[in-house]
Amino acid sequence: MQGTPDREKRRSGAAHYLIADNRQAIGGDEQDVGLHDERRVRVEHEYASSRRRCHRRFGQSRMGFERIDTIEDPRVDAYRAVRDAELARTRGLFVAEGRLVVERLIADGRHTLRSVLVSDAARQGLAPALARVPDRVPIYVCRAEDLRGITGFDLHRGCLALAERPAPVPAAALVAPAKLVVALDGVGNADNVGGVFRNAAAFGVDAVLLGPTCCDPLYRKAIRTSMAATLRVPFARVDDWSAALALLRATGFAIVALTPREPSEDLAAFAERGRPERLALLIGAEGAGLTSQSEAAADYRVRIPIRPDVDSLNLAVASGIALERLARRT
């Protein structure tokens, strides 16, 4: 039976005074220390258990935070290189930036947190989420002005987290159960990659394949732009793009190239005929578009009609329009 808050407090206080009395009793005579060790351990264990019960009772999971009062503090050394995406990657880490992203990272639970660094304001704003962080994960709190000194740049809403990168998933394992896949060819811009993942999450894409020259979906800016969708939508990077296209074909996907170039079919007309059972949407870099290799591998070529005096659509916008139409089953 759960105790009342007052009862839990009394238990905690009693254990505290027992510890104090016990320490006072053994403090003056070293010969008596051994006689009281067993009792001290038992009482301290009771005190710790009582604290844990109080935290569970009142919906808290943490015993405290770690204060950072100087930017030279070695405990936050890992945050000094967050601008270097390659360095973070070689350490097997990724960086989550911003309150919403960090909140979703914590709530999702699929990635192992290493630590969190927040300003005082962000700590208050993220209090419910931070309460769910396991005690083994340090949460560092510092002044807002010290965040720039530690990280070297202006943070998005005063919050960062370091987490372990997941083990790579083979492309074949991702596409085997999938029905709708996005394949990115040469998309190196972090904002565009993040935007595509955000659209992929919104329209039920099962997996994203990325060519060797694409931006890392776990790059800090890509995660932030995607609103943490890169942490939820399964993806695989492939070094051999021609092999990836062959895999899609061998797995029974209809490969649809999104391109403004002729010959191509109006996207709406293609979608009205009904989506194939398994569909892979090929998207190329903004400006350059799809490579000739990707276009040659496509079963269908579709375009989004726009006014003739407009050059093109932003890649993320175009992908959202295409996925909204192709995600429908008619």
Could you report the per-residue pLDDT of 228-253, keeping only the tens digit for each?
Answer: 999 999 999 999 999 999 999 999 99
Instruction: Please check whether residue 62 is in contact with residue 130, taking contact to mean a CB–CB distance below 8 angstroms.
Output: yes
Contacts of 181 (CB under 8 A, 6+ apart): 174, 175, 205, 206, 207, 208, 209, 248, 253, 278, 279, 280, 281
**pLDDT value at position 62?**
56
Structure confidence at residue 329 as a pLDDT band (50, 70, 90):
low
Number of alpha carbons in the 13 Å side-chain half-sphere of residue 320? 13
CA distance 168 to 283: 22
Which pair of tokens denotes residue 214? 């694409």
**pLDDT value at position 38?**
53
Q: What's the chain's average pLDDT?
A: 83
**pLDDT value at position 262?**
85
Q: What are the pLDDT digits (tens) for 119-140?
A: 999 999 999 999 999 999 999 9
Structure confidence at residue 227 as a pLDDT band (50, 70, 90):
very high
Give this prediction's pTM.
Answer: 0.79
Q: What are the pLDDT digits (tens) for 256-315?
A: 999 988 899 999 999 998 889 999 999 999 888 898 889 999 999 999 999 989 888 999
Q: CA distances (Å), 245 to each of 194, 267, 282, in order?
A: 22, 21, 10
Contacts of 143 (CB under 8 A, 6+ apart): 119, 120
Please report where in the chains the tokens 């949460």 appear, as a residue: 139
Kindly tell me if the per-residue pLDDT of 330 is higher than 70. no
Q: What are the pLDDT digits (tens) for 12-69?
A: 443 333 333 333 333 344 444 343 445 444 434 443 443 343 344 334 445 579 999 9
Kindly tell me if the per-residue pLDDT of 176 is higher than 50. yes
Which residue would you say has higher pLDDT here, 86 or 306?
306
Amino acid at 295: E
Contacts of 59 (CB under 8 A, 6+ apart): 131
CA distance 300 to 282: 10
Instruction: Please check whether residue 142 is in contact with residue 150, taking contact to mean a CB–CB distance below 8 angstroms.
Output: yes
**pLDDT value at position 328?**
78
Mean pLDDT of 75-88: 84
Amino acid at 143: R
Please report where in the chains the tokens 């890169």 appear, as a residue: 230
Structure confidence at residue 180 as a pLDDT band (50, 70, 90):
very high
Note the helical H segments in the chain.
5-27, 33-57, 85-90, 99-108, 120-125, 127-130, 144-151, 171-175, 190-202, 220-225, 241-250, 267-272, 292-297, 315-326
**pLDDT value at position 63?**
59
